[in-house]
Amino acid sequence: MWSISDSGQLKSAVDSWPNVTVKNAAEYVKRSKAAGADYIKLFQENCCSFAVPPGSVAAATLELQTAVTKAAHDEGLLVVAHANSVEATEVVLKAGVDGLTHAFIDQAPPQAIVDLYKKTGAFVIPTLTVLASLTAQYQDLREKFATIASQKGLVD
């Protein structure tokens, strides 16, 4: 894994990702399905929770996410998304995803997002415990459980 200060490694990792565009979205989805994919996962990230500098990962446009989602649905594939902010969640919900693999963590749910979930019927896998680890909330409790697990030899 790269560190925040190693922008060369980060750039190299990001550059290795598939170059999906609105024009080649359908081709990308077909190749993925042919390779065995049974769903497509979108990545909508604005670095609000990553340990990388903001702007290090270019956020996909609504147009691109919509093109990929439509192509996947045309191929009979489920579409899920990674989005850890309200802004990113709004993009993928508007793109038509079937569900989100995380709840957002940057703020309490605004009514507009609740309404968008209701309108689209998208599901969410909250992963609240994992996402809480990105914050300082309940840090003392997490440290207590880590200490107990260590003392019992469950973790090293």
Residue 139: its pLDDT value, please? Answer: 78
* pLDDT above 90 (res 88): yes
Q: What are the residue ranges of helices labelled H in 57-138?
A: 62-74, 86-95, 111-120, 128-132
Least confident of 49-53, 65-69, 78-82, 138-142: 49-53
* pLDDT above 60 (res 3): no
Least confident of 30-39, 81-90, 137-146: 137-146
In this predicted model, which residue has the larger pLDDT, 140 or 136?
140
**Mean pLDDT for the chain overall:** 86
What gap in Å lies between CA 84 and CA 75, rounded to an integer?
27
Whether residue 25 contacts residue 67, with contact meaning beta carbons closer than 8 Å, is answered with yes
What gap in Å lies between CA 73 and CA 93, rounded to an integer?
14
Average pLDDT, stretch 15-43? 95
What gap in Å lies between CA 34 and CA 138, rounded to an integer?
44
Residue 2: its pLDDT value, please? Answer: 43
Whether residue 28 contacts residue 20, with contact meaning beta carbons closer than 8 Å, is answered with yes
Question: Which tokens in the block code for residue 22?
Answer: 């609105």
- Model confidence at 137, in pLDDT bands (50, 70, 90)? confident
In this predicted model, which residue has the larger pLDDT, 49 or 8?
8
Residue 140: its pLDDT value, please? Answer: 83
In this predicted model, which residue has the larger pLDDT, 2 or 54?
54
Residue 14: its pLDDT value, please? Answer: 76
